[in-house]
Structure 1
Amino acid sequence: MKKLLVGLLVVGLTGCATGPTKKVMTPDVYLLFANIWADNVGCYQKNYISPQQYAEGIDSFSHVLNTWVYDVDRMKEEIDIRFRFLITNASNCKNHEFALTQVKSASDKAKGREQRYVENYNKSLESFANSMNPPRVKTTCLTTGSLTMCN
């Protein structure tokens, strides 16, 4: 029983220690995310980016945003402010396309880290489970007269 509890504690702590951590969003990052979101919507509405780019932008944006600790109401306010001053033209949308590739790259990296974390955590659990249930050794016995010998 002690071995089981210690093993679960080790696996639990390993999971906590290697899990993805979130940073607290700073004012500059709020502004950056608000700009990217507003530009994504504006460029799509004016047909400067394709529906696929728009959808990829939303997916990547949402994924990267969820790697931060942030205030949802504050983010909404920042986006609303950005929409009030939004200027959508070909030049701005070309810059936005570049920003989308950076956000997508960051999103892909974060997804890769999360996948590796899950794989490592699952391996830890599997290893622990295997250590708790060692393979059974078949015992054979040979009896000769009144003498029995087993291996």
Structure 2
Amino acid sequence: MTGPDPLAAPTGSGAPADPASIWRVATVVRVEMHLPSQYPLVVLQEVVPPQRQARIPVGLPEGTAIAYALSRRPTPRPLTHQLFSDVLDRHGVSVEAVRLTAVVEGNVVAELETSSRAGRHVVPCRPSDGFALALRRQPPVPIVVADWVLTELSGSQPG
């Protein structure tokens, strides 16, 4: 990957106070639906051992969009995140990383890091939008999670 280091300390509103925070690379492995719940769960898995998993509830439309992107299933017309990805491409904007930076009152805080000739920018986003966009980009966009966030979401101790 070229461009800024996605594991560098984030600069957005969700940045932790400690820039030496440990970041873990994760990937979306599946979208689960457990009835009678109306909310799908996006399952993230840490790429390296101990390969902790975290389940993040998302809205039904967002879960559907992520499932389509994960399965690389074509749609008759572009879904919203594909449209946004295409617009970014046409304007020369690269998506460098999706970061999960905090958990506030049970909600996961995320940010999207972009770069272009205009510079590097960090924009707050919902985790579901970050995942749906990251899965549609080529090359794939890394999803990085603050270690303490992954620990909290997975319910396990860091390795």
Give 1 or 2: higher helix fraction.
1
* Alignment TM class, shorter chain as reference: under 0.3
Q: Tell me: higher relative CO, structure 1 or 2? Use CA pairs within 8 A at least 6 residues apart.
A: 1
TM-score, normalised on structure 1?
Answer: 0.25
